[in-house]
Amino acid sequence: MYLPYGINEQGQLVYIESVGRGKTALKCPYCAVPLIARKGERLAPHFAHDGATCREARRSSETVALPVYDSFRLHLSGKMWEALWQFHDEDNDSGCDWLEAEGWVKSFITTYGNERYSLTHKGKIPFGDLSLNLFNQFQEPLIRERHDTLEQAALAALCTAEENTALTDLRLFRAQMRRILETTLYFIEVRTDTGILHKIGVTTRSLEQRLAEIRADLTPHFGSVELIPLGTWAHRGNVELYFKHRYRRFQHPIAALTEYFAFGDVKAVLRDLRRMKPKALNDMERAILAGEPSRVERHELNPAEVLSKAAWLLLSNFSSDEAKRIFEARLELQNHRLGERTRPLIVFTSGYPDLRLQVTDYGRAYRERFADWYQRMYASGIAESV
Ligand SMILES: [Zn+2]
């Protein structure tokens, strides 16, 4: 994967953009080998191992990448891309049955009773044809789903050899979510002595500070520069790269600066931007923005995952005779599921006629891991029984 974060001595994740190129004092979040910041022309900036690359970092970049953030082909295979492209650019719908089955196009019946096809929201993204507002609506649930999948994987890996990897995947993903949530998207008009340009960008600081830097960037290239902010959108860092993709035909590079555009009709672009609904943060996003670790790292369970009080009391104060007596609690511990993986907290150790039960290794680790959590949950009950 293109490792986007290294870990510093304080254990914090440090983003590739905030370090210079070359050797760093950072380490791989998976294996702790020192990292080198690679910032070439051809590949996206990323960290490479100063030594052997670990197995975890050799996995696909997809593992911790934000969905539909910096790549808009959406894993289209070459053949399918060709069929989609022919439909889009040449109105050739010969491959449409196939494209429809994969959700790229949908069929409809014209007023004359003919079957025709149109691109779905997903099908519009590779061409940048989807509006910014609908792009947000398409991407946000995918980000949430990916987060939940990684969280479930981390729960399933608790107390196994995979735990560190799964937790690190989740931490990296949350760091990337934080990065797009903490940034404000801005759009500004750039008046120069040779004409009007526009700039899209993101910042975590005040727009005034950013404007001063932009003015300094542009001054060598123009006789005069005036900057007029046209809008800011808080927590919308997710849109910047899609905006560049959608309006790539209007890009107007100034030396190495790529965020400038020369629009024929900027009103349409402004409408597109202003139709985006203000980003309303949910509880999870607020926690991520505040830099809080995931509930898995904090050893917290959600209501659907919590053991009943009887089962927890049995586990925390276990005896085989007691387990045989409380049938329901026993079954609950035997069939325990966490992170969509069944892992018994207790098992039978010997069969008929000498039926005995004991706590599994996982059961012991679980008991230790979540003791504080249950203590808080079932405070009075636990206090009485211990
Ligand atoms: Zn590594």
- Residue 172 CA to ligand 1 center (angstroms) comes to 13
Question: How many residues are given for the chain?
Answer: 386
How far is Cα of residue 198 from the mean position of the Cα atoms in its chain? 29
- Residue 26 CA to ligand 1 center (angstroms) comes to 11
pLDDT recorded at residue 97:
86
pLDDT recorded at residue 1:
86
**Alpha-carbon span 305 to 316, nearest angstrom:** 17
- Residue 297 CA to ligand 1 center (angstroms) comes to 20
Q: Which residue in 77, 84, 54 sits closest to 168, CA to CA?
A: 54
- Residue 182 CA to ligand 1 center (angstroms) comes to 27
Tens-place pLDDT, residues 370-384:
999 998 888 755 444
pLDDT recorded at residue 91:
81
- Residue 195 CA to ligand 1 center (angstroms) comes to 49
Task: Give Cα separations from 265 to 78, 135, 296 (angstroms).
Answer: 34, 21, 49
pLDDT recorded at residue 380:
57
8 Å CB contact between 379 and 372: no
For the chain, the structural domain boundaries read 1-59, 78-127, 184-274, 303-385
8 Å CB contact between 104 and 94: no
Q: Which residue in 36, 26, 63, 66 sits closest to 240, CA to CA?
A: 66
Task: Give Cα separations from 118 to 30, 84, 95, 107, 109 (angstroms).
Answer: 44, 11, 13, 6, 11
- Residue 368 CA to ligand 1 center (angstroms) comes to 29
Task: Please give the sequence-ordered ranges of beta strands (E in DSSP) within the chain, or none if there are none.
Answer: 5-7, 13-15, 22-27, 34-38, 46-49, 105-109, 115-119, 184-192, 195-203, 225-233, 260-261, 346-350, 356-359
pLDDT recorded at residue 256:
84
- Residue 362 CA to ligand 1 center (angstroms) comes to 27
- Residue 23 CA to ligand 1 center (angstroms) comes to 15
- Gyration radius from the chain CA atoms: 27
Tens-place pLDDT, residues 128-146:
999 999 999 999 999 999 9
15, β-bridge pairs: 5
210, β-bridge pairs: none
Q: In the numeric block, which tokens belong to residue 96? A: 């449409």
- Residue 156 CA to ligand 1 center (angstroms) comes to 22
- Residue 25 CA to ligand 1 center (angstroms) comes to 14
- Residue 122 CA to ligand 1 center (angstroms) comes to 34
- Residue 42 CA to ligand 1 center (angstroms) comes to 22
- Residue 236 CA to ligand 1 center (angstroms) comes to 31
Please tell me the pTM assigned to this model: 0.89
- Residue 228 CA to ligand 1 center (angstroms) comes to 45
Residues around ligand 1, an ion, CB closer than 5 A: 28, 30-31, 54, 57
Can you tell me which residue has the tokens 């979510």? Answer: 177
- Residue 347 CA to ligand 1 center (angstroms) comes to 37
Order of strands across the sheet with 225-233? 225-233, 184-192, 195-203, 260-261
- Residue 49 CA to ligand 1 center (angstroms) comes to 7
Q: Which residue in 268, 198, 272 sits closest to 230, CA to CA?
A: 198
- Residue 230 CA to ligand 1 center (angstroms) comes to 43
pLDDT recorded at residue 354:
80
Sites in the chain below the pLDDT cut of 70:
380-386
- Residue 166 CA to ligand 1 center (angstroms) comes to 13
- Residue 327 CA to ligand 1 center (angstroms) comes to 46
8 Å CB contact between 188 and 227: yes
- Residue 287 CA to ligand 1 center (angstroms) comes to 27
- Residue 150 CA to ligand 1 center (angstroms) comes to 19
